[in-house]
Amino acid sequence: MDLVVGMETYFINSWPPLLGKVVRPEGFKVRELVDGGTDVSSWKGGEDGKLAVYLLWKEGRDHFSVVRELASVLRAKPSYMGIKDADAVTLQLLTVPNMPNLPQVVEGRGFVARLVGRTNVRPSHYGNRFNITLDIEDTGELHRRANEISALRILPAFIGYQRFGTRRPVTHVIGKLISQRDWCGALSFLVSRPFLGEGPQGRAFREAVQRGELEKALELIPSYFKQERVVLSRYTKTSNCLEALKASLVPPAFFVEAYQSYLFNRYLSRVIHKSKRDTSLRLSTNFNECDEDCREIYLEEGIEKDSFRVKELKVSLRPIVRRAFMEVRDLEVIGNVLMFSLERGMYASVVLREILRGDPRLYT
């Protein structure tokens, strides 16, 4: 799976796989750090301000579906500082424009949002604190590896598995097909192509789509497959793949950005061992602005002039600018619990990958 998402190397090459898995969702806890390192559970706003701030707790729910439910209740789309894991227990701040009669609490399946104050200045995202419980036998080796990483303080700033899909790692594949204007190919990966890691309901739905039994597929589709239901319903009405993609609840740019993230991972894999600690990498959207490593990847991938500007779906991407390394802060292990902090935009799954190796489905 590492190669599928562009991670082609490790930083420490001498470690064999360490058998262990994350106890999901309750064993993967993440909470935002804001305004220089304040835990979001301690953040309090005032009584007045242009923005109302909610503290969102969720467990086992994907980010976008919860945001849609909150938008319906709050009558405004919430702004957020990061997309948190679905199969986890997460705590983060959301903001909406301040208005009269906002509810103090909004509850739904697997989430609770509480109004914690108002402000004129949106809290700034400093990073995230992780508390991860591992089902692992060799805790001694876990401690040894954690100590070695703690001494190094850095790891490659790969973009983590969840950006691509942990059970169906196809988000970037959909993005690549969109960048190639292969609308029907993108739609196919979005609604069909079952994976073994999915539940039986999801597989049955996707298998029906593959057989061309679209009406039956709409009957079989799980209630939580809202994205797939919307685009497939539009396709059954229009028989037009592009129109179906336009109906996507997830912005099409999200998929193309995932493809761009895959390209960044491939690029970082090539340059990481010749990069300095403070190196900042730039992956251009323009082939002519690429260095030799970038050009080789773009030629292999068939990147063209307009690959990252898809007017039909209002996609226009900027170059990725990202540091080669991320700082792993306050790393400690107590028994089988791993704790550390990362800057915003960095992924805990990359830390787990470096420590555990093996099958990423066990820790994502």
Residue 75 lies in a domain: yes
pLDDT of 277 higher than 90: no
Same domain, 195 and 261: no
Q: How buried is 46 (Cβ within 10 angstroms: 0-12 exposed, 13-18 middle, 19+ buried)?
A: exposed
Q: Cα–Cα distance between 268 and 145 in angstroms, integer?
A: 23
Helices of type H across 272-347: 292-301
pLDDT of 363 higher than 90: no
Q: Is 135 a catalytic residue?
A: no
pLDDT of 1 higher than 90: no
CATH of the domain at 191: 1.10.1510
Q: Cα–Cα distance between 326 and 334 in angstroms, integer?
A: 23
Q: How confident is the model at residue 33 (pLDDT cuts 50, 70, 90)?
A: very high
Same domain, 273 and 240: no
According to the model, what pLDDT value does residue 313 have?
95
Q: What is the pLDDT of residues 81-91, one digit of tens each?
A: 988 888 899 99
Q: Which residue from 143, 68, 135, 81 is spatially nearest to 108, judged by alpha carbons?
A: 68
SS3 call for 178: helix
Residue 2 lies in a domain: no
Last residue of a domain, one of 205, 221, 246: 246
Last residue of a domain, one of 207, 224, 246: 246
Give the residue numbers spanning the domain of 313: 255-323
Q: What is the pLDDT of residues 194-239, one digit of tens each?
A: 888 788 999 999 999 999 999 999 999 988 898 999 999 999 999 9
Q: What is the pLDDT of residues 34-69, one digit of tens each?
A: 998 999 999 999 999 999 999 999 999 989 889 999
205 contact partners, CB below 8 Å, separation of at least 6 = 217, 220, 221, 222, 225, 228
The percentage of residues in the chain with a pLDDT greater than 90, rounded to a whole number, is 81
Residue 13 lies in a domain: no
Beta strands in 198-319 (DSSP E): 280-283, 309-310, 315-316
Residue 233 lies in a domain: yes
Residue 318 lies in a domain: yes
Q: Cα–Cα distance between 120 and 51 in angstroms, integer?
A: 6
Q: How many CA atoms lie within 13 A of 190 on its CB side?
A: 33
Q: Which of 35, 39, 62, 85 is catalytic?
A: 85
> Mean pLDDT throughout 162-175?
90
Residue 156 lies in a domain: no
Q: How confident is the model at residue 358 (pLDDT cuts 50, 70, 90)?
A: confident
**What is the number of structural domains in the chain?**
3
CATH of the domain at 35: 3.30.70.3160
